[in-house]
Amino acid sequence: MRFDMRFMRFDMRFMRFDMRFMRFDMRFMRFDMRFMRFMRFDMRFDMRFHMRFHMRFYMSFISLQTLVIRVNLYIKGSKISFIEDNYEL
């Protein structure tokens, strides 16, 4: 009986791993279904996957912009601290 419970726990790991991505998709589907009510039903689901990839690339672009700003501020801050350290010379 203990040997069977090991396999049960192993299957539930993959189930939980899939539900993370399903929850990520259902956010956009609830938002899109209001505007695509009069469309054909399978076309709505194609649009849902299109919006998912669009939002994924848009969020990666925003994270890239914040990374550029963060690196730029880090370089400017290090230059300012370098000037302050050598101010007495």
40: left (phi over 0), alpha (psi -120 to 50) or beta: beta
- Domain carrying residue 26: 2-85
Could you tell me which residues come within 8 angstroms of residue 36 by beta carbon, excluding any fewer than 6 positions away? 43, 44, 47
**Number of domains, the chain:** 1
pLDDT in tens, the chain (89 residues): 555 555 555 545 454 444 445 444 444 544 445 555 555 555 555 555 555 555 555 566 666 667 677 677 767 766 666 666 666 65
Total count of residues recorded for the chain: 89
**pLDDT confidence of residue 32:** 47
In the block, tokens 């993370």 appear at 20
pTM tops 0.85, yes or no: no
